[in-house]
Amino acid sequence: MDPSIVYLVGTAGSGKSSLAAAYHTWMEEAGHDATLVNLDPGADSLPYVPDIDIRDWISLEEVMAEHGLGPNGAQVAAADMIALNAGEIATELEKFRPDTFVIDTPGQIELFAFRSSSLRLIDALGRERAAVLFLLDSVMCKNPNGFASTLMLSATVQFRLNLACRNVLTKADLLSNPDLEEMIRWSEEEGALDNALAANISDGGSLLNIDLLRALRDVEPHKGFMVTSADSLEGMEDIYADIQRLFAGGEEANK
């Protein structure tokens, strides 16, 4: 069976690189194989050793020097340059035959989710067995407004990339049990998040947010989320099982 491709997407600081490292560790311990791909040309350090590293093709420092750009402009230019190297990256991936390619995307979400270069890369690597894990940062999602806005961003990313999308709550070990239970209730109990948002309405914009959330209710990937911790490896098995259900009909997940 061809490998699956999992893109880790989320806001800066949501834990993409940490989740990539943790999932790779769990996969090895479980007897599976994962190939780690770093797509962030601006990464100073990573908690894992990438098997394929975009920094081998693109140097942020060289982009800054050659084009006279600051760090932010160089990040945008480098993100667009990824498309120019899409064929070479795809060729590199073909040298590996893992169960899963885990692709760690740039820290700033807009550099991957909202650049046309990323769509070209996704097309080059293949869409048939590709999916997005969208990371819900537990720190951002502790209040209803943060949780709601992150769900909307997840839906926007799915719409933009046109791939299967699953929500993953990261850094669950930083949450108290009551906070985690409340977030699960917001996600699973109809009207719970609406009510929590309504309790904090201060302007008309909040009413619009509630209406937008109601439109998401029937979108299956946005019902519930997987709870994870990179430190304890909590939830890694859930991610694996969900990916198997998505691409293999659950055969491996049920073994």
Among candidate residues 141, 190, 136, the one with its CA nearest the CA of residue 10: 136
pLDDT band at 199 (very low <50, low <70, confident <90, very high): confident
pLDDT for 79 equals 87
- Please, what is the average pLDDT of the chain? 88
pLDDT band at 250 (very low <50, low <70, confident <90, very high): very low
Q: What is the mean pLDDT of residues 2-22?
A: 96
pLDDT, greater one: 173 or 79? 173
DSSP, collapsed to helix, strand or coil, labels residue 60 as helix
Please list the alpha-helical segments (H only) found in 51-138: 60-67, 71-84, 86-93, 110-113, 116-125
Residue 197: name the closest of 183, 185, 207 by CA.
207
Residue 157 clears pLDDT 50, i.e. is over it: yes
Does residue 207 surpass a pLDDT of 60?
A: no
pLDDT at 141: 92
3-state secondary structure of 6: strand
Helix orientation angle between 116-125 and 86-93, rounded to the nearest 10 degrees = 30
Closest CA to 146 of 13, 2, 57: 13
pLDDT tens digits, residue range 61-89? 899 999 999 988 998 999 889 888 899 99
pLDDT for 107-136, tens place per residue?
A: 899 999 998 889 999 999 999 999 999 999
Position 239 scores a pLDDT of 97
Cβ–Cβ < 8 Å for 108, 9: no
Q: Does domain 4-247 have CATH number 3.40.640.10?
A: no
Q: Which one is predicted more confidently, 82 or 200?
A: 82
- Percentage of the chain lying above the pLDDT 90 cut: 65
Determine the pLDDT at residue 249: 63
> What is the C-alpha radius of gyration for the chain, rounded to an integer number of angstroms?
19
